[in-house]
Amino acid sequence: MDPRNVNPEISILGDKPTRDRGQGGRNFSAHVEYNPDPITRNLRRVYDEVAAEPIPADLKQLLDELEGLKERDPDA
């Protein structure tokens, strides 16, 4: 408490800032979006390479079949 404040009910420093605890850290992501270190950059680059590759024919066919299954299911 500020010793200059004679009335503890009224804060002369204004409202005490409250910390937004959000989800209590449950959604904390370990990702650091700014200035990643070289290892992180390279890990992401590996991912980017994979993401840039075309989807193999087998997988594409599987996804097409999935679409067909969904169309046959009226509840989908």
The nearer residue to another protein, 16 or 72, going by C-beta atoms, is: 72
The nearer residue to another protein, 13 or 62, going by C-beta atoms, is: 62
User: What 8-state DSSP symbol labels residue 56?
Assistant: P
**Binding residues for another protein (CB under 8 A):** 26-32, 37-40, 42-47, 50-51, 53, 55-56, 58-59, 61-63, 65-67, 69-70, 72-73, 75-76
- Element housing 49 (H / E): helix 38-52
Quote the least distance from Cβ 21 to another protein, whole Å.
Answer: 16
- Torsion of the alpha carbons at 21, 41, 35 and 23, rounded to the nearest 10: 0
Q: What is the token pair recorded at 6?
A: 């004679």
